[in-house]
Every structure is written in C-alpha cells, then in structure tokens.
Amino acid sequence: MADSIDEMIKGGAKVVDVRSPDEFEDEHFPNALNIPVNQLPNRMKEIGDPSSPVVLYCASGARSAMAARMLSASGFKKVVNAGGLYDMPGM
C-alpha cells in the first residue's frame, strides 16, 4: 500500500495529519496539513476539492480511520487512510 500512497502524494494528493498540534509539532510528514480529527467537521474546506485525493494519517491509524469515514460521508471521493506517521512513505 505504501507504493500507491507514495504515487498519490507525488500526484498531488493533499496529506492531512489528524493528530494533535503538539504531536504534529514534534514530527510530521513533509508539507502535511494539520487538522486534528476533533476539528475536522469545521475545517474540511481547508482540504479543498472533494474530488481531489486525500491521504490521512495519525499515530496508529485509528484517528485517521475516523477522519476517513467523516470525509467520505461528507462527499470526499478519494480518501485513503495511510495509518500511522511511520507508515507514510519515507518515514
């Protein structure tokens, strides 16, 4: 799966880190947007076009799975839960 995630990112997918700001500040994937999962309902517009691909990650994959369900239910078409930060390509 890491290869397809890498391809999505190279193709311009938005990468969203749904961890807390403190976790994000400690370490994050390059150019990731930090939107904590509890803030996601009010900040989805920051992600952009719902037809564009989105790659989500957190620490273990649980919060990003929740975020993926929220985005899909809100009309986002190409949402991938990449799991934890260290599951991301190159981490």
Which positions are annotated as active-site residues?
Answer: 58
Tell me how far apart the alpha carbons of residues 35 and 73 are, in angstroms, rounded to a whole number: 17
3-state secondary structure of 9: helix
Tell me how far apart the alpha carbons of residues 30 and 85 are, in angstroms, rounded to a whole number: 11
DSSP state of 31: T
Contact status, residue 55 vs residue 7, Cβ threshold 8 Å? no
